[in-house]
Structure 1
Amino acid sequence: MIKVMSISGAILLLLGAAGIGWLLLTPSGSEFRYLMADTLITTQHRHWAKYIIGQRQLDARVEAYQQRFNAMGEERDTHEIHPEPQPVMAPVSSSAEEQEQPVVKPLVEIEEISGSGYSGYVMTVNDPTKIRIGVPEKKGRGERVRSMVERTGAIAGVNGGGFADPNWQGNGFQPIGIVMSGGKLFYNDLGKSRSTQVVGIDGNGKMVAGRYTVEELQQMGVQEAVTFQPRIIVNGKGLIRNAADGWGIAPRTAMGQREDGAILFVVIDGRQPGHSIGANLYDVQQIMLDRGAVIAANLDGGSSTVLVKDDQVLNKPSTKSSEGRYLPTAFLVFEHPEQAQIANVWEGLKASDIDPGKW
């Protein structure tokens, strides 16, 4: 018995040594280590990545990604949208009852998707002018997307931009960068001359993504916008070169637009073995390209990722609550967006007035 245990122990030691050697000394092992590190970097346990690649490599990798993300936002987008006219349903005479009737697309369409290690949804909004940025109702605390949808009478909603999150326990109230809703600047911590990477929509329903100043956005007639990055498709071409550049495996939310104007929201669950591990940005880019996106950008993902339709959370957020986190912004879809009551909850507040960690 002792001999068998000794042999088993020796085998385990050899396998462990071989595994460590593979991780440290082979190209495929190094690739796997950096994938693990990138995945941790997108979570509340970023500091753990240093035990996989070292603190120096961790800092260098985060800086390299930031520089690349910045560069991905510089090319000016020139895409144009050509919305398809919706057929008008006229009264049908008895003599024409059997004729084929024109098809009216629903405002919102939901498609389930799956791939290697992930599952999620694509929500298509066929009229991009029906989208507004929603914000919390009460000062000092973010709001869950389902609550925003229910309170405002929206049809659907998806999480939006980034926010200050000290110790990954923030209250979801302080956005990062800017927030625009209904053509008004709700929040700005940039200053007049600084630019930021935005994801938004102008007054004609054209999606805007890339690096802009507030003045540029206002001149362009942008109505709805939040700050987040990176842009992953511009002028019809993907910017993420391969899976290794995909910033690890995580829950994802992204927004794109087809040439016909339809807005695509990709929502992918993650961090849930047996259901969905997550996707990298290359996966998300390819999902968008396969569906005809000519522009697309990443939105806040991770435990913020949530999709709501008809007051129900469709996906499975990677949070203790099945309804996701408290957030500062969401993309909301309305039948009549001009009637939506969305007030500026940050009016009169400066960034220095907000404690993002206090509930």
Structure 2
Amino acid sequence: MNSSSLPQRSTVRKKKKPARKRKKRGFFRTVFRVFMFCLILLIIAGGWLYLAPSAQNTRYLIADTLITTQHRYMAKYIIGEDELKNRVSEYTERFQEMGNEVDTHVIEPEPVVPEDKPLVEIEKVTGSGYAGYVMIVNDPKKVRLGVPDKVGSGEKVSSMVARTGAIAGVNGGGFADPNWKGNGFKPIGLVVSQGKLYYNGLGGKKSTQIVGLDKEGKMIAGNYTLDELSKMGVQEAVTFQPRIIVNGKGQIKNAAEGWGIAPRTAMGQRADGALIFVVIDGRQPGYSIGANLYDVQQIMLKQGAVIAANLDGGSSTVLVKDNEILNKPSSQYGERYLPTAFLVFEDPGQADIRNIWEGLDPSKIDAGKKRTQ
């Protein structure tokens, strides 16, 4: 057989593609596959979120959380614009109802701080997705409502504490906050400090939901008229809602009624008169997402609260002790400028808290005017 007729092995070697190009193509293929996998998951999750009846609670949780932020309008993309309006209306009515039950709780006539206890005790608190602090003030008569010291601008709680000589402070009531860029000087509703009405922004309303203290140190929270507050001897108070515990009973049935997840501040009182302040951080993945009002209510009940109410939260939430900010405010700018704060004093008689709104017309205060300080 002629050897020339046999198949011949080519002596020419094929050039191998450079390893770098193969690795590069492999990398892009991996990225593409991951992208497609994530896209498919997103489509499936979106379909479940918007279409599945079982996802209703999740939709409302997301919507309620958005409602508590400056991006409230985005909730309409989760539950629809009409449902958003209904949701806000439902909460408003529900919060109003939660403030109507007559509070009958009593405290010890003369709360006395045991010798082995400090005036203020602070401990960390954690739960599912949240972290924060509980501050106990063992003598409720040592608390005063602080206000700013300059016309036209709110004041940071840390500044109020340092300026007045307080040993601790927590943010108080809400304020007009156009586009979440308000100057913190226009409170919502009422401000009462040292038994005097410092600010009346009720307009034509006859009553408002307040959180405060009477002259005996008893916590007052609920829906009241100015005349009722006067007769009750209310000494320190701000307008805010809702009341979450009354006569030792929680008002919120479950987490689904907890009005979303957010940074929270709340005030409560035990039967022995000690005040409880709960401060929960939020909007910080990896540290604390936030809590709903049911979470806060349960913390208060565990602490022995017989009455408790929500205070301004969100980016306003702050706890100051010995001139140090203990929590982590969620605002990217740190502490906010606020109109009110509950301050704790060793000697409250020395507190210099003047009425910065005296002589001003609430309707003419510009809540969005740029601060001058």
Same fold (TM over 0.5): yes
Closer, same or farther: CA 133–12 of 1 in aligned 2, 3 Å: closer
Q: CA deviation at 1:137?
A: 0.1
Q: Which of 91, 101, 126 is the aligned partner of 1:75?
A: 101
Closer, same or farther: CA 56–4 of 1 in aligned 2, 3 Å: same
Structure 1's unaligned 5+ residue stretches are 88-101
Distance 1:306 1:223 in 2: 23
Q: Which of 206, 215, 224 is the aligned partner of 1:203?
A: 215
Write out per-residue CA displacement over residues 98-120 of structure 1, whole angstroms, 9 at most, x where no aligned residue. xxxx7432100001111111100
The AA in structure 2 aligned to 1:78 is T
Equivalent in the alignment of 1:346: 357
Closer, same or farther: CA 8–302 of 1 in aligned 2, 3 Å: closer
Q: CA deviation at 1:193?
A: 6.2
Structure 1 residue 62 corresponds to structure 2 residue 88:
yes
Give secondary structure in 2 for the equivalent of 1:320: coil
The AA in structure 2 aligned to 1:240 is I
Q: CA deviation at 1:333?
A: 0.3
Aligned runs of 1:28-107 on 2, under 5 Å?
Answer: 28-82=54-108, 86=112, 103-107=115-119
Is the 1:242–1:282 contact (alpha carbons within 8 Å) kept by the matching residues of 2? yes
Distance 1:272 1:4 in 2: 31
Is the 2:111–2:139 contact (alpha carbons within 8 Å) kept by the matching residues of 1? no
Distance 2:120 2:31 in 1: 62
Distance 1:49 1:282 in 2: 21
Is the 1:201–1:223 contact (alpha carbons within 8 Å) kept by the matching residues of 2? yes
Equivalent in the alignment of 1:224: 236
Q: Which of 340, 345, 350 is the aligned partner of 1:329?
A: 340
Closer, same or farther: CA 108–52 of 1 in aligned 2, 3 Å: same
Q: CA deviation at 1:209?
A: 0.2
Distance 1:259 1:9 in 2: 57
Equivalent in the alignment of 2:14: none
Give secondary structure in 2 for the equivalent of 1:123: strand
Equivalent in the alignment of 1:97: none
The AA in structure 1 aligned to 2:196 is K
Closer, same or farther: CA 270–6 of 1 in aligned 2, 3 Å: closer
Distance 2:135 2:49 in 1: 39
Q: Which of 148, 152, 172 is the aligned partner of 1:140?
A: 152
Equivalent in the alignment of 1:234: 246
Is the 1:192–1:214 contact (alpha carbons within 8 Å) kept by the matching residues of 2? no
Write out per-residue CA displacement over residues 332-351 of structure 1, whole angstroms, 9 at most, x where no aligned residue. 00011122110000000011
The AA in structure 2 aligned to 1:46 is R
Is the 2:129–2:288 contact (alpha carbons within 8 Å) kept by the matching residues of 1? yes
Larger gyration radius, structure 1 or structure 2? 2
Closer, same or farther: CA 85–140 of 1 in aligned 2, 3 Å: closer
Distance 2:31 2:291 in 1: 41
Is the 1:86–1:104 contact (alpha carbons within 8 Å) kept by the matching residues of 2? no
Give secondary structure in 1 for the equivalent of 2:151: coil
Structure 1 residue 269 corresponds to structure 2 residue 295:
no
Distance 1:85 1:168 in 2: 40
Distance 1:174 1:5 in 2: 52
Distance 2:118 2:36 in 1: 64
Give the percent of matched residue pairs that are identical in Structure 1 and Structure 2. Answer: 69
Write out per-residue CA displacement over residues 60-95 of structure 1, whole angstroms, 9 at most, x where no aligned residue. 0000000000000000100000267648xxxxxxxx
- Could you say what the CA RMSD is over the residues aligned between the two structures, in angstroms? 1.9
Q: CA deviation at 1:21?
A: 2.4
Closer, same or farther: CA 163–3 of 1 in aligned 2, 3 Å: closer
Q: CA deviation at 1:27?
A: 3.6
